[in-house]
Amino acid sequence: MSELPTGETPRPPRRKRYSGKNPRNFEDKYKEHAPEKYPETVAKVLASGKTPAGSHVPIMVEESLKALKLSPGMTGIDATLGHGGHALRILEQIQPGGKLLGLDVDPIEQPRTEARIRAAGFDETTFEAVRSNYAGLTKVLAARQLEGVDFIYADLGCSSMQFDDPTRGFSFKHQGPLDMRMNPQRGLSASEWIERTKPEKFTIALEEHADEPRAGRLSEALAGRVFKSTVEFANAIRSSMPGLDPDTIDLTVRRVFQAVRI
Ligand SMILES: C[S@@+](CC[C@H](N)C(=O)[O-])C[C@H]1O[C@@H](n2cnc3c(N)ncnc32)[C@H](O)[C@@H]1O
């Protein structure tokens, strides 16, 4: 690196240029990668009732806080930290003296959320981000010599950031690898799971996780096959139901993706 004259601060790297008015590829979508730097855009999207890409709007915040009956000094668990929307509101209410452990399995989003929570003023004495499945909660507590906590909060499912990032492969709306793992470092990708799954088991997944009425027919067409991308899988679902109207086909694609995600 070249030396800078004393007193000069290095310039931040220039943003990558893309052709056209708006970035097309997810990696070029600078606002999605750092929504906190664009508060006006975020406010505009929120006011329209939508979720700004790259972030997550927490649901039922007031109802959740009321049910938790929080007070200063409490120690508790957010078992599904996500974007940290609930965690931040919980943290405000358990200070002074309180501590929150925020669990999540997602190694990509969790460090970003931890950084946001630190930037909001919560240090290690008030908040700890823990990479763990909530199934391992007893181990997390034992490792910290905690015999119990005052509350455990969980907001189950996927986060909007996971859906928005095409490289995670959660959504049929974006071209990406058919992955769908909340922790891409562990377990089978969706693509591997579909390839290894027999039609009978695939049918059960479609029925139990998505109430899919055409489970048998779809399983015969899809189970055991190799689909590398989200779009390839979505197209295979569509073409296995010739003659159905577009709305029914669209709903079926959504249900099959939901079942495989679960
Ligand atoms: C709906 S989001 C939570 C959003 C969060 N309440 C907020 O305000 O941003 C669900 C989160 O739970 C995480 N998750 C899902 N299953 C999990 C599990 N078994 N253990 C830990 N985290 C899990 C996902 O990675 C995701 O980040």
Please check whether residue 42 lies inside any domain of the structure.
no
Q: Does position 194 have pLDDT exceeding 60, yes or no? A: yes
Q: Is the CB of 157 under 6 A from ligand 1?
A: yes
Answer positive or negative: Cα dihedral of 124, 57, 163, 77.
positive
Interval 45-63 mean pLDDT: 82
If one counts the domains in the chain, the total is 2
Q: In 3-state terms, what secondary structure has residue 58?
A: coil
- Long-range CB pairs of 50-57 (<8 Å, 24+ gap) are 51/160, 53/29, 53/160, 53/164, 54/29, 54/161, 54/164, 55/83, 55/160, 55/161, 56/82, 56/83, 56/85, 56/159, 56/160, 56/161, 57/85, 57/160
CATH code of the domain containing 125: 3.40.50.150
> Which residue range forms the structural domain that includes residue 192?
165-261
On average, the pLDDT of the chain sits at 91
Q: State the pLDDT confidence band at 47, using cuts at 50, 70 and 90.
A: confident
Q: Tell whether omega for the bond before 111 is within 30 degrees of 0, i.e. cis.
A: no
Are 69 and 144 members of one domain?
yes
pLDDT for position 56: 83
Tokens 């899988």, located at residue: 233
Tokens 């990668």, located at residue: 33
- Identify which of 134, 182, 183, 261 to mutate to test ligand 1's pocket (most ligand atoms within 8 A of the CB): 182
Q: State the pLDDT confidence band at 213, using cuts at 50, 70 and 90.
A: very high
Q: Are the beta carbons of 122 and 91 closer than 8 angstroms?
A: yes
* Tens of pLDDT, residues 224-239: 999 999 999 999 999 9
In angstroms, what is the span from residue 157 Cα to ligand 1's centroid?
6
Q: State the pLDDT confidence band at 160, using cuts at 50, 70 and 90.
A: very high
The region of weakest confidence among 34-38, 112-116, 242-246 is 34-38
Are 140 and 176 members of one domain?
no
Amino acid letter, residue 253: V
Q: Does position 59 have pLDDT exceeding 50, yes or no? A: yes
Please check whether residue 128 lies inside any domain of the structure.
yes
Answer positive or negative: Cα dihedral of 57, 62, 66, 70.
positive
Q: Is the CB of 187 under 6 A from ligand 1?
A: no
* Tens of pLDDT, residues 130-154: 999 999 999 999 999 999 999 999 9
Q: Are the beta carbons of 137 and 77 closer than 8 angstroms?
A: yes
Please check whether residue 136 lies inside any domain of the structure.
yes
Cα angle 135, 72, 147 (rounded to 5 degrees) comes to: 35
Q: Does position 119 have pLDDT exceeding 60, yes or no? A: yes
Q: From 116, 134, 158, give the residue that closes a domain.
A: 158
Are 193 and 130 members of one domain?
no
Are 201 and 117 members of one domain?
no
pLDDT for position 3: 46
Q: From 118, 143, 158, give the residue that closes a domain.
A: 158
Are 87 and 109 members of one domain?
yes
Share of the chain residues as helix, strand and coil, in percent rounded to the nearest 5: 45, 10, 45
Interval 15-33 mean pLDDT: 69
pLDDT for position 206: 98
Whole-number Å distance between alpha carbons of 77 and 98: 11
Please check whether residue 30 lies inside any domain of the structure.
no
H helix intervals, the chain: 30-33, 39-47, 61-68, 85-94, 109-119, 137-143, 160-164, 190-196, 199-210, 215-222, 230-239, 246-261
Q: From 111, 135, 158, give the residue that closes a domain.
A: 158
pLDDT for position 1: 38
pLDDT for position 30: 65
Are 128 and 195 members of one domain?
no
Please check whether residue 23 lies inside any domain of the structure.
no
Interval 183-203 mean pLDDT: 97
Element (H, E) at 124: none
Q: Is the CB of 159 under 6 A from ligand 1?
A: yes
- Identify which of 104, 151, 153, 170 to mutate to test ligand 1's pocket (most ligand atoms within 8 A of the CB): 104
In angstroms, what is the span from residue 162 Cα to ligand 1's centroid?
10
Please check whether residue 38 lies inside any domain of the structure.
no
CATH code of the domain containing 231: 1.10.150.170
* Tens of pLDDT, residues 175-187: 999 999 999 999 9
Are 108 and 169 members of one domain?
no
Q: Is the CB of 23 under 6 A from ligand 1?
A: no
Q: Does position 23 have pLDDT exceeding 90, yes or no? A: no
Are 106 and 185 members of one domain?
no
Q: Is the CB of 58 under 6 A from ligand 1?
A: yes
Q: State the pLDDT confidence band at 2, using cuts at 50, 70 and 90.
A: very low
pLDDT for position 50: 72
Are 153 and 182 members of one domain?
no
Q: How far is CA 189 from CA 152, 207, 260, in A?
A: 29, 20, 10
Q: Does position 7 have pLDDT exceeding 90, yes or no? A: no
Please check whether residue 134 lies inside any domain of the structure.
yes
Q: Does position 165 have pLDDT exceeding 70, yes or no? A: yes
The region of weakest confidence among 1-10, 207-216, 221-230, 252-261 is 1-10
Please check whether residue 116 lies inside any domain of the structure.
yes
Are 120 and 103 members of one domain?
yes
Are 182 and 233 members of one domain?
yes
Are 169 and 256 members of one domain?
yes
